Amino acid sequence: MNQKIRIVIVLGVLLCGMAGTRMLSDAQASRNPEQSTPTRDVALLIQRIQAPQVPDRQGLDGLTLQEVMGKLHVPGVSIAVIKDFKVQWANGYGVADVKAGRPVESDTLFQAASISKPVTAMAAMKFVEDGRFSLDEDVNRLLKSWHVPESEVTREQPVTARSLFSHTSGADDGFGFPGYAPAAPRPTILQILNGEKPSNVGPVRFVRPPYQAYKYSGGGILIMQLALTDLLGRPFDDLMQSTILTPLGMSNSTYQQPLPDSMAGHAARAHDSSGQAMDGQWHVYPEQAAAGLWTTPTDLARVAIELQRALKGPSGTILKEGTAREMIAPTGAGPYGIGFEISQKGQGWYFSHSGGNWGFRCHLLAHVRKGYGIVIMTNADSGSGLIDEIESRVAAAYGWDTLDKPVFR
């Protein structure tokens, strides 16, 4: 390797801001050149993403990534970039906790918030694939401890798993769960569904027939959490561990709520919109299926890659091609398939999901066909603006779905 290339590599790695950057080595790339980008090229891509943008269209373009974080008051962010159906690089920036000053690393845990929902949906699809239940059967056939009330709106078309995961069930709650302080009393799932104390949200009510319209419903996903535990007779975090987290190698992830002490030391703290530490480290979410996943961008990227590989066929690690196609199939109302939002961006079609818990913001975005994507997780209420900026920079650097030639193919 000549001295000029060596300097570029060192510069690129230093600009990452953290020693925790993980990327493919040149040796790994040479073993499979069609599915890898050499380390020197990845370093240059990272450098471009972190540097002021060219051309400078004003806004945030003239700032480095670290300067954008400061301007938007986001203490820490973690990123994983997917290319060729695998994680090409992952890195952390800033601090996990402004009080402790701990740096964000690629294995720092963040709350996935609502991205917990499509991961839950993937587990449900595995059980559908195994013949445990049907997407289109009455969900009350799965439920034992609670039932969707019979009414005029469900008489002709029952509420189903498909309608619940696509937010077209007719549930009118619109939740968004705020969570609970670690020391506060926590409600049971039944208390949450019925709106009974100590639940901090109202009851889940059905006000229109399924598939008539779209309305986002965290309560609907909570019903699926109860349906899966009633059907399988197992704690929710346990069935998610054995069905999704372990098979996909998500070793830095858990649905346990509260977060186990053994993992708390690697977790990011919640911060407000000014970047200040919240009055508690984080909130606890008994609504595990809807908001309870603790994870990293690298682990969440494995979920996206599983769906991408299954869609490519003939199967992924967990899902078969036909099952994966069901996940991205429109239901006839709204933007959701089974768990993921499906949308066109530029000239490409993507599946995605955002997340927002108390003091955390995150986003997963992945191309349906081309094997690339990104997961970004932040530890501040103001993280959404930073997420948008990073996604834009990554898309430009990699030439996602544009007619312009990308920097590196």
State how far the Cα of 161 lies from the Cα of 158, in Å rounded to an integer: 10
Q: For the residues 222-246, what does the mean pLDDT come to?
A: 98
pLDDT for the residue 37: 55
Q: Which of 32-36, 45-49, 136-140, 356-360 has the lowest mean pLDDT?
A: 32-36
pLDDT in tens, 235-253: 999 999 999 999 999 999 9
| pLDDT above 60 (res 375) | yes
Using 50, 70 and 90 to split pLDDT, how confident is the model at 407? very low
Question: Which stretches within 135-266 are classed as H helix?
Answer: 161-165, 189-194, 218-232, 236-240, 261-264
Please name the amino acid found at residue 39: T
3-state secondary structure (DSSP) of residue 80: strand
| Cβ neighbours for 7, distance < 8 A, ≥ 6 positions apart | none
The H or E element that residue 96 is part of is strand 86-97
> Mean pLDDT across the chain, nearest whole number?
90
Using 50, 70 and 90 to split pLDDT, how confident is the model at 391? very high
On whether the CB atoms of residues 296 and 80 are closer than 8 A, the answer is: yes
On whether the CB atoms of residues 400 and 372 are closer than 8 A, the answer is: yes
Phi, then psi, of 239 in degrees rounded to 5: -70, -30
Question: In 3-state terms, the chain is what percent helix, strand and coil (to 5)?
Answer: 35, 15, 45
Question: Helices then strands (H, E): number in the chain?
Answer: 14, 10
Q: For the residues 340-359, what does the mean pLDDT come to?
A: 95
Q: What's the gap between Cα 18 and its chain centre?
A: 23
pLDDT for the residue 21: 57
Q: For the residues 353-378, what does the mean pLDDT come to?
A: 98
State how far the Cα of 405 lies from the Cα of 50, in Å rounded to an integer: 20
| pLDDT above 80 (res 4) | no
| pLDDT above 70 (res 14) | no
CA distances 368 to 65, 258, 304, 315, 347, Å, are 28, 34, 9, 14, 12
Which residue segments constitute the domains of the chain, with CATH numbers given?
110-398 (3.40.710.10)
CA dihedral 239, 240, 243, 249 (to 10 degrees): -140
| pLDDT above 80 (res 25) | no
The H or E element that residue 78 is part of is strand 76-83
Q: Environment class of residue 142 by beta-carbon count within 10 Å: exposed (0-12), middle (13-18) or buried (19+)?
A: buried
On whether the CB atoms of residues 99 and 277 are closer than 8 A, the answer is: yes
| pLDDT above 80 (res 3) | no
pLDDT in tens, 59-85: 999 999 999 999 999 999 999 999 999
Q: For the residues 190-205, what does the mean pLDDT come to?
A: 97
pLDDT for the residue 134: 97
pLDDT for the residue 39: 85
DSSP per-residue letters across 114-160: GGHHHHHHHHHHHHHHTTS--TTSBGGGT-SS--PPP-GGGSSS--B
Residue closest to 191 by CA, chosen among 216, 165, 219, 227: 219
* pTM recorded for the entire structure: 0.91
| pLDDT above 60 (res 148) | yes
pLDDT in tens, 275-301: 999 999 999 999 999 999 999 999 999
pLDDT for the residue 13: 33
pLDDT for the residue 51: 98
